[in-house]
């Protein structure tokens, strides 16, 4: 065993796969085994591995200016170009961009900018943030507090209350519905819950509502029709900002440029990372509305500095790589192609509807999940996370990387450059893995009659 403390890993079960190289939509381990990427790394390698144009862009920038910071008035052209490009792409009015290194730190930056902004406009009491149950927003102290998943909270004693984080329902009809409740009634009930919580807390104390337009780590939950419409109407009524965490859904993942477009959301703030650089370099962007930024200028001048920034905020190599990635998205029509292949992925996943283990199939565009259940007819979940882990390993045994999320859901998030033939290859492996998993569940008596 090496001396690494592994991230998001059972520390009793480390170093199970050593990845050695990547090519296109495949990775290879140190024993020469080949795997198709069913999850684009961690929902991020949109353009696959070994893209020479991106490698050249990085090398060229390293040769020209390998590092320069952005503190105290310094800037560089490649950073300004990237910021302009992002501002022009996002559905945020007069968007301004703060650069960071990861989705987690970008969400932290957003919390700090929210506080800065509301202090600036004389509303210091307006700092609470509504986050949803089962959401995933990262793992720094603040972003893990936004996250609504137990494994990211347990043993960490996070300052959830101190940060003013409130929790509302996850819009997952399959798991959250009451007996006999229609989808429309479910939406009505959970949005009423949201409004009641806002009234109980006091709208004047709540700054923002954060949501992944379509979730990732909580099992790829696509909210029912009408949900975001109702949520946005409530937020507008009480002057609460919509903050879209697009770390997974940004850049062509859900069949459109952004998850907000797919789900009809008009956000005031947006978190971007992952596919911004196709994961060739770590970089994130915390995007806010122009008027929010304008309000922050004077207070920074009083202090002498906007006292927030990272050594690597706007790292020139990460910016050059991201600019090249955005250029490729546009030039090669990547989002439209991914929408086409994504529709195919969704229809192929639906073919598993009759499999005895499959309870619900969810997704949009190039992201999807199968929820595996102990009783197909009642939807009773498997106890613990054993089945998800087993199915994920079975996929790996058949040469495909995927990811078990939220216990027993198997997630798919292939690179955007995948073809329909790649999807066919994945589905063939999935069929075998599901049959292996069913045999295991029968043998271990895990199915419930
Ligand atoms: C929606 C969302 N937000 C934030 C994050 C955190 O990003 P990072 O792992 O880059 O810190 C993730 C990571 O998967 C995510 O899915």
How many Å lie between the centroid of ligand 1 and the Cα of residue 83?
A: 20
Same domain, 322 and 355: no
CB-based contact 326:319 (threshold 8 Å): no
Query: pLDDT tens-digit profile of 234-254?
Result: 999 999 999 999 999 999 999
Same domain, 71 and 173: yes
Indicate the SS3 state at residue 326: helix
> Which of 137, 141, 318 to mutate for ligand 1's pocket (most ligand atoms within 8 Å of CB)?
137
Same domain, 324 and 227: yes
Contacts of 94 (CB under 8 A, 6+ apart): 87, 289, 290, 291, 293
Residues 336, 291: Cα–Cα separation, whole Å:
32
Residues 78, 80: Cα–Cα separation, whole Å:
6
Residues 373, 137: Cα–Cα separation, whole Å:
26
Residue of the nearest CA to atom 8 in ligand 1? 103
In a domain, 385, yes or no: yes
Ligand 1 binding pocket includes 103 (Cβ within 6 Å): yes
Band (69; pLDDT cuts 50, 70, 90): very high
% of the chain beyond a pLDDT of 70 = 100
Distances (CA, A) of 197 to 129, 167, 238, 261, 428: 12, 9, 12, 27, 46
Same domain, 347 and 269: no
Q: Among 312, 331, 350, identify where a domain stops.
A: 331
In a domain, 1, yes or no: no
Ligand 1 binding pocket includes 245 (Cβ within 6 Å): yes
Q: Domain containing 114 — which CATH number?
A: 3.40.640.10
Does 143 have pLDDT greater than 80?
yes
Same domain, 309 and 176: yes
Band (166; pLDDT cuts 50, 70, 90): very high
Q: Among 286, 314, 331, identify where a domain stops.
A: 331
Ligand 1 binding pocket includes 102 (Cβ within 6 Å): yes
Does 385 have pLDDT greater than 80?
no
Ligand 1 binding pocket includes 104 (Cβ within 6 Å): yes
| Domains of the chain: total | 2
Q: Quick one: average pLDDT of 94-100?
A: 98
Q: For residue 167, what pLDDT is reported? A: 98
C-alpha count within 13 angstroms, C-beta hemisphere, residue 95: 25
Q: Quick one: average pLDDT of 373-396?
A: 93
Q: Which of 20-24, 299-303, 368-372 has the lowest average pLDDT?
A: 299-303
In a domain, 392, yes or no: yes
Same domain, 75 and 186: yes
Q: Among 277, 298, 331, identify where a domain stops.
A: 331
C-alpha count within 13 angstroms, C-beta hemisphere, residue 378: 8
Band (94; pLDDT cuts 50, 70, 90): very high
Band (283; pLDDT cuts 50, 70, 90): very high
Q: For residue 407, what pLDDT is reported? A: 79
In a domain, 250, yes or no: yes
% of the chain beyond a pLDDT of 90 = 98
Ligand 1 binding pocket includes 285 (Cβ within 6 Å): no
Same domain, 149 and 270: yes
Same domain, 305 and 343: no
Q: Quick one: average pLDDT of 350-377?
A: 97
Q: For residue 449, what pLDDT is reported? A: 87
Query: pLDDT tens-digit profile of 2-59?
Result: 999 999 999 999 999 999 999 999 999 999 999 999 999 999 999 999 999 999 999 9
Q: Quick one: average pLDDT of 200-205?
A: 98
Indicate the SS3 state at residue 98: strand
Taking the CA of residue 217 as reference, the ligand 1 atom at the shortest distance is 16
Taking the CA of residue 246 as reference, the ligand 1 atom at the shortest distance is 1
Q: What mean pLDDT, rounded, does the chain reach?
A: 97
CB-based contact 446:386 (threshold 8 Å): yes
> Which of 144, 247, 253 to mutate for ligand 1's pocket (most ligand atoms within 8 Å of CB)?
247
Indicate the SS3 state at residue 220: coil
Q: Quick one: average pLDDT of 189-214?
A: 98
Q: Domain limits at 318?
A: 53-331
Does 168 have pLDDT greater than 90?
yes
Long-range contact pairs involving 23-29 (C-beta distance under 8 Å, separation at least 24): 23/48, 23/49, 23/50, 24/48, 24/49, 24/50, 24/417, 25/49, 25/414, 25/415, 25/417, 25/418, 25/422, 27/401
Same domain, 69 and 108: yes
How many Å lie between the centroid of ligand 1 and the Cα of residue 411?
A: 15
Number of residues that this document lists for the chain: 449
How many Å lie between the centroid of ligand 1 and the Cα of residue 253?
A: 14
Band (383; pLDDT cuts 50, 70, 90): confident
Ligand 1 binding pocket includes 217 (Cβ within 6 Å): yes
Bigger pLDDT: 385 vs 316: 316
Same domain, 304 and 338: no
Q: Domain containing 399 — which CATH number?
A: 3.90.1150.10
In a domain, 427, yes or no: yes
Q: Which of 189-193, 321-325, 348-352, 445-449 has the lowest average pLDDT?
A: 445-449
Query: pLDDT tens-digit profile of 253-269?
Result: 999 999 999 999 999 99
Q: For residue 52, what pLDDT is reported? A: 98
């Amino acid at each position: 065993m090496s001396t690494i403390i592994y991230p998001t890993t059972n520390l009793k079960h480390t170093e199970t796969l050593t990845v050695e190289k990547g090519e296109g939509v495949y990775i290879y381990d140190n024993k020469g085994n080949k795997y198709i990427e069913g999850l684009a790394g961690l929902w991020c390698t949109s353009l696959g591995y070994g893209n020479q144009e991106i490698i050249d862009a990085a090398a060229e920038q390293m040769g020209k200016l390998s590092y320069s910071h952005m503190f105290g008035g310094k800037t560089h052209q490649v950073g300004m170009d990237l910021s302009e490009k992002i501002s022009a792409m996002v559905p945020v009015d007069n968007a301004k961009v703060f650069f960071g290194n990861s989705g987690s730190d970008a969400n932290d930056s957003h919390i700090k900018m929210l506080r800065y902004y509301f202090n600036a406009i004389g509303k210091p009491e307006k700092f609470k943030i509504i986050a949803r149950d089962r959401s995933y927003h990262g793992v720094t102290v603040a972003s893990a507090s936004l996250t609504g998943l137990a494994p990211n909270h347990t043993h960490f004693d996070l300052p959830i209350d101190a940060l003013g984080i409130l929790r509302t329902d996850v819009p997952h009809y399959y798991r959250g519905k009451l007996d006999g409740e229609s989808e429309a009634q479910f939406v009505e009930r959970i949005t009423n819950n949201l409004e009641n919580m806002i009234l109980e807390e006091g709208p004047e104390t709540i700054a923002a509502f954060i949501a992944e337009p379509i979730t990732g780590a909580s099992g790829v939950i696509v909210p029912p029709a009408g949900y975001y419409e109702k949520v946005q109407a409530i937020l507008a009524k009480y002057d609460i900002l919509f903050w879209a965490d697009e770390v997974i859904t940004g850049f062509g993942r859900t069949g459109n440029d952004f998850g907000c477009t797919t789900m009809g959301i008009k956000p005031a703030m947006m978190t971007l990372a992952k596919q911004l650089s196709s994961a060739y370099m770590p970089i994130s962007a915390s995007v806010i509305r122009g008027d929010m930024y304008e309000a922050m200028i004077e207070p920074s001048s009083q202090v002498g500095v906007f006292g927030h920034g990272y050594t690597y905020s706007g790292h020139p190599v990460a910016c050059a790589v991201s600019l090249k990635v955005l250029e490729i998205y546009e030039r090669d029509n990547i989002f439209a192609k991914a929408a086409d292949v994504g529709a195919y992925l969704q229809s192929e996943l639906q073919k598993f509807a009759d499999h005895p283990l499959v309870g619900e199939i969810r997704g949009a565009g190039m992201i999807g999940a199968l929820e595996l259940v102990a009783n197909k007819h009642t939807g009773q979940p498997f106890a613990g996370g054993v089945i998800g882990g087993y199915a994920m390993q079975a996929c790996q045994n058949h040469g495909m990387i995927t990811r078990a999320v939220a216990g027993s859901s198997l997630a798919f998030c292939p690179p955007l450059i995948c073809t329909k033939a790649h999807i066919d290859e994945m589905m063939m492996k999935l069929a075998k893995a599901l049959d292996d998993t069913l045999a295991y569940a029968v043998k271990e008596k895990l199915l419930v009659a």
